[in-house]
């Protein structure tokens, strides 16, 4: 069967060559099908429909089934405004999943950067963005993805070049993410790209392979230093309060002992003064009482006691003073 080409509304159709009698009916049927086919279009739930009439924007439609002028008079573009697009720098994901497979081979021109302290670093990161204005996204810039990649690389190199390699590897990662995101958004808005940067996230920051062993040793030494500093601070925080507590306790004990000694001395002085006053009033009686009180205090402390008369002092030579018996 032979076919011939028919152009309707800028679209080509191949129709079979039939007898002259049936040509009109067949052409009418084809035109009707083409009319219906080119008059309806559907927009997905994460898309918007941007309608162009002869290449000029006329309206925007939401998700669902819609109509447009057929035969190429109106064309529809469907940017995904609710999708989050991701661009990878310094690496590519070969297989996504629970255990993703990535490769960094061949992307050194993106990841190798010079830091602010004139060291080299291999930086990998991702950028996620969404379309916030479909019109700007479609018509203001011709190569949107390439423009975003170039702007992201410029912003990252500028930010990394303002910081030391230690800052990039350790505590400065969050600040770098935020600063790159701000710089990118400012440049994209100035271009009228219609894109919103959602996330900038550093993945890995490593030294170049040629100096990585030495860098790892320095990093290990730095970690050991930080660990020792933390241990010393912990010991300081434990020892100083304990020492202060002991010192405070000793001070309190010394103060209590001083008060006790002062009170005791004052009591002894008062007792002595009272005793002296009594002694002055009755010297013989007071002297006798003091003698008896002293004996009452001393005698209970003596284990063996001998009571003799005053005239028989010579008998002491015959006594065994070391014998362990009762009172003699």
Model pLDDT for residues 53-100, shown as the tens digit of each residue: 988 999 999 989 988 888 788 899 999 999 999 999 999 999 887 788
pLDDT at 324 over 90: no
Residue 99 lies inside a defined structural domain of this protein:
yes
pLDDT at 293 over 60: yes
Residue 44 lies inside a defined structural domain of this protein:
yes
At residue 278, the pLDDT reads 75
% the chain with pLDDT above 70: 85
Residue 151 lies inside a defined structural domain of this protein:
yes
Q: What CATH number corresponds to the domain at position 195?
A: 3.30.479.30
pLDDT at 327 over 50: no
Confidence of residue 1 (pLDDT cuts 50, 70, 90): low
Final residue of a structural domain among 45, 77, 109: 77
Residues 24/47, Cβ–Cβ less than 8 Å: no
Model pLDDT for residues 253-278, shown as the tens digit of each residue: 999 999 999 999 998 888 888 877 87
Tell me the residue range of the domain where 181 lies: 85-206
The DSSP string of 21-59 is: HHHHHHHHHHHHHHHHHHHEEEE-TT--EEEEETTEEEE
Residues 3/16, Cβ–Cβ less than 8 Å: yes
Model pLDDT for residues 296-310, shown as the tens digit of each residue: 888 887 777 666 665
The structural domain count of the chain equals 2
Residues 25/10, Cβ–Cβ less than 8 Å: no
Residue 239 lies inside a defined structural domain of this protein:
no
Tokens of 323: 């014998």
Residues 127/148, Cβ–Cβ less than 8 Å: yes
Using alpha carbons only, give the angle 180, 145, 187 rounded to the nearest 5 degrees. Answer: 40
pLDDT at 243 over 50: yes
Whether 33 and 107 map to the same domain: the answer is no
CA 200/CA 280 separation, integer angstroms: 102
At residue 214, the pLDDT reads 80
Residue 218 lies inside a defined structural domain of this protein:
no
Nearest to 129 by CA among 187, 194, 190: 194
Model pLDDT for residues 36-50, shown as the tens digit of each residue: 777 888 999 999 999
Which of 29-33, 96-100, 149-153 bottoms out in mean pLDDT, i.e. has the lowest? 29-33
Whether 146 and 177 map to the same domain: the answer is yes
pTM equals: 0.59
Q: Identify each DSSP E strand in 165-257 by its residue range.
A: 195-206
Whether 48 and 112 map to the same domain: the answer is no
Nearest to 50 by CA among 146, 143, 139: 139
Alpha-carbon distances, residue 68 vs 8, 55, 76, 119 (angstroms):
16, 14, 8, 59
pLDDT at 325 over 70: no
């Amino acid at each position: 069967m032979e076919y011939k080409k028919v152009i309707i509304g800028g679209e080509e159709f191949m129709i079979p060559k039939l007898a002259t009698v049936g040509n009109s009916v067949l052409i009418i049927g084809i035109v009707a099908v083409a009319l219906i086919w080119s008059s309806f279009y559907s927009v997905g739930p994460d898309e918007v429909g941007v309608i162009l009439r002869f290449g000029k924007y006329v309206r925007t439609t939401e998700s669902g089934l819609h109509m447009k002028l057929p035969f190429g008079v109106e064309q529809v573009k469907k940017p995904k405004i609710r999708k989050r697009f991701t661009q990878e720098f310094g690496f590519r994901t070969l297989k996504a999943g629970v255990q993703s497979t990535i490769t960094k081979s061949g992307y050194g021109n993106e990841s190798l950067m010079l830091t602010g302290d004139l060291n080299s670093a291999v930086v990998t990161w991702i950028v996620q963005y969404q379309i916030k204005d479909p019109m700007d996204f479609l018509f203001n810039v011709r190569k949107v993805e390439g423009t975003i990649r170039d702007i992201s690389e410029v912003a990252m190199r500028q930010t990394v070049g303002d910081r030391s390699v230690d800052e990039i590897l350790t505590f400065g990662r969050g600040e770098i993410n935020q600063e790159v995101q701000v710089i990118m958004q400012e440049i994209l808005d100035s271009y009228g790209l219609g894109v919103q940067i959602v996330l900038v996230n550093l993945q890995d920051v490593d030294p170049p392979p040629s100096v990585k062993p030495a860098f790892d040793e320095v990093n290990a030494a730095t970690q050991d230093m930080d660990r020792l500093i933390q241990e010393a601070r912990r010991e300081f925080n434990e020892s100083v309060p304990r020492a202060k507590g002991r010192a405070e306790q000793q001070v309190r004990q010394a103060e209590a002992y001083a008060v006790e000694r002062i009170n005791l001395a004052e009591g002894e002085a008062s007792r002595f003064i009272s005793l002296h006053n009594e002694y002055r009033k009755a010297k013989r009686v007071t002297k006798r009482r003091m003698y008896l009180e002293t004996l009452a205090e001393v005698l209970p402390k003596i284990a063996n006691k001998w009571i003799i008369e005053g005239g028989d002092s010579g008998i002491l030579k015959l006594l065994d003073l070391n014998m362990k018996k009762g009172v003699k």
